[in-house]
Structure formats: C-alpha cells, structure tokens
Amino acid sequence: MLPQYHDARHEVRNTIIGLVEDLANSNKLALKAIEECNAEALDEARKNLKEMSSITEKIDNDIVLIFAKFTPGAK
C-alpha cells in the first residue's frame, strides 16, 4: 500500500474513533440530564451533538479525497 494512503486512512480512522467517543459522552450526559429532569444539561448535550456535524462533514470529505487520490481509476 502507498504510505500516503495508509496515513490518510489512519487519520480518518482516528477521527472517527474520537467522534464515537464524543458521541458516547454526549449520550451519557443526555441520559443523566433526562434522569435528573434537567433541561439545561440536556441542551448542553444537544449543543455537543450539533458541533459534531462539522467533524462528520470533514470525515466525509476526507473519504472522498482518499477515493479520488488512491483508487485505480484516479490516474
């Protein structure tokens, strides 16, 4: 495999792992807020989810770039 492909793939993988960890944390915060009937804490958990959309957009773009650069038809 090409070193650039390997590096790009691992960068996307690490970003996804971080996103999943953040998502799990947001879910825990939301559950706690619901159990405590705390609307402000629930809004904070929602805010974290909204911030994740820019990360998912970056992941999507990075995956498209990987396919565009490293697939056999890219040449």
64 within some domain = yes
HEC letters along 14-72: HHHHHHHHHHHHHHHHHHHHHHCCCHHHHHHHHHHHHHHHHHHHHHHHHHHHHHHHHCH
- Is residue 3 in a domain? no
Q: Is 57 within the bounds of a domain?
A: yes
Residue 16 lies in a domain: yes
Non-local (6+) Cβ contacts of 38 within 8 A are: 32
Domain containing residue 58:
12-68
Tens-place pLDDT, residues 35-44: 999 999 999 9
AA identity, residue 69: K
The predicted-structure confidence for 2-51, as pLDDT tens digits, reads as follows: 788 899 999 999 999 999 999 999 999 999 999 999 999 999 989 988 88
Q: Total domain count for the chain?
A: 1
- CB-neighbour burial class of residue 37 (10 A; exposed 0-12, middle 13-18, buried 19+): exposed
For residue 73, is it within any domain?
no
